A = this chain, B = another copy of it.
Amino acid sequence: MGAALPRKELFDIPEGVIYLDGNSLGVLPKGAVARATEVIRDEWGGQLIKAWNTAGWMALPAGVGDTIAGLIGAPAGAVATGDTLSIKVYQALAASLRMRPDRRVILSDNGNFPSDLYMAEGLINTIDKGYVLRTPAPVDVLDAITDEVAVVMLTQVDYRTGRMHNVQEVTQAAHAAGAVMIWDLAHSAGAVPVDMTASHAEFAVGCTYKYLNGGPGAPAFIYARPDIILDLQPALSGWLGHAAPFAMEQAYRPAMSTERLRVGTPSIVQLSILQEALKVWEGVDMADLRAASIRLSETFIAEVEARCASLTLASPRDPAMRGSQVSFAFENGYPAMQALIERGVIGDFRAPDIMRFGFTPLYLDQAEIVRAAEIIEDVISNEVWRDPKYHMRSRVT
Residues of chain A at the chain B interface (Cβ within 8 Å): 12, 14, 17, 19, 21, 24-25, 27-28, 32-33, 36-37, 40-41, 44-46, 48-53, 57-58, 82-87, 90, 94, 98, 110, 113-115, 117-119, 121-123, 125-129, 135, 207, 209, 215-220, 233-240, 242, 245-252, 263-271, 273, 341, 346, 348, 350-351, 394-397
Contacts and interface: CB of A to CB of B under 8 A. Distances in A.
Q: Which 4 A-B pairs have the closest CB atoms?
A: A84-B264, A28-B45, A122-B237, A217-B267
A387 B156 CA distance: 56
B44 A237 contact: no
A207 B119 contact: no
Copies of this protein chain in the complex = 2
Contacts of A85: 264-265
B246 A396 contact: yes
A256 to B, nearest CB: 16
A14 B87 contact: no
A127 B125 contact: no
Given A27-B48, A44-B215, A45-B14, A252 B126 contact: no
B52 A396 contact: yes
A132 to B, nearest CB: 13
Contact of A83 (B84, B121, B209, B350): B84
B21 A48 contact: yes
B126 A235 contact: yes
Contacts of A122: 234-238, 252
